[in-house]
Amino acid sequence: MASGYFEYLRDLLIERSGLVLTPDKSYLIETRLMPVALSMGYQNIEEMVQVLKSSRNETLVTAICEAMNTHESLFFRDQVPFDLFKTLILPQLLKRRADKRHFRIWCAACSTGQEPYSLAMVLKAATAKLKGWKTEIIATDISHSVLARARKGLFSQFEIQRGLPVQMLVKHFSHIGEHWQLNQDIRDMVDFRHYNLLTEPKLLGMFDMILCRNVLIYFNVETKTQVLSSIGSVLRDDGVLFLGSAESTMGLTDKLWPVEAGCGVYRHSHITSCIADALETKHFGA
Ligand SMILES: C[S@@+](CC[C@H](N)C(=O)[O-])C[C@H]1O[C@@H](n2cnc3c(N)ncnc32)[C@H](O)[C@@H]1O
């Protein structure tokens, strides 16, 4: 690889999206950026980077970040978070928020929408209990293209086969050509917005539950620490945070503690009681 352009792209990606590109992953530059270079009218990546170095074309920078990020997602990914939400966290929210009849969930780094839509389907099944309640699911991502796909709620047969129970497919999707589209009532339950995790989250408001899954793994320690601090600042005192199965707050912050090792749920460490209390009671008989 031409010297200079790996370093240039590595620095650009860290600065813009937090993505860490280690030399062993440099092959990704070739496979993911060659199509971008060609579609933008350049002969190769080197020429594209030369142009970028002389003037920062924002459209090109965005296209590079979007192509280099991994957008892999699936319905009910890892299953446990969604089971915990349905059986323990939602009942707690119904109790703890009974005065305002309102709670807010944030799916940070939502990719093509499978994660927030999985939550929406769980909430839909609880419609009777939620009568008179306002429930919000805000789903954000840095990538405009995945957000556009997510808003359409259109999924391929392959995506549908990954994690979606057949009863949910029958109940909530319509077959459109070779794709499956989520019905409008479920799509309307999710508010997709553009948001970069490296920026200030206060404008999004406060949340009772946050899912930030399978994105911290791509960041360095400094960025992970900064993002966890931002997330903690918009998580209600008794709220809960879900991280991905390969992610943790350990060594990054002592302000967010695991509720129970292994299940990916975290809480503010300074609070004695939280929405996930039932989880500890269930597992430890406390
Ligand atoms: C692997 S997907 C995870 C999707 C979903 N959370 C899940 O677990 O299935 C990671 C997503 O993080 C997004 N992402 C990467 N860097 C980001 C940043 N700085 N701010 C917001 N989203 C980011 C990517 O665009 C991508 O869609």
Contact 138, 104 (CB under 8 A): yes
Residue 211 sits at φ, ψ, to 5 deg, of -115, 120
Residue-level pLDDT at 207? 98
Residue 90 CB partners (closer than 8 Å, separation 6+): 122, 123, 126
Atom of ligand 1 nearest to the CA of 72: 1
Residues of the chain with CATH 3.40.50.150: 80-151+182-284
Ligand 1 in reach of 72 Cβ (< 6 A): yes
CATH second-level architecture of 5-68?
A: Orthogonal Bundle (1.10)
> pLDDT tens-digit profile of 237-270?
999 999 999 999 999 999 999 997 568 999 999 8
Confidence bin at 286 (pLDDT 50/70/90): very low
Structure tokens at 28: 């990704």
Ligand 1 in reach of 73 Cβ (< 6 A): yes
Ligand 1 in reach of 77 Cβ (< 6 A): yes
Question: What kind of fold does domain 80-151+182-284 have according to CATH?
Answer: Rossmann fold (3.40.50)
Ligand 1 in reach of 96 Cβ (< 6 A): no
Please, what is the average pLDDT of the chain? Answer: 93
Contact 210, 204 (CB under 8 A): no
Residues of the chain with CATH 1.10.155.10: 5-68
- Within 10 angstroms of residue 143's Cβ, the number of other Cβ atoms is 22
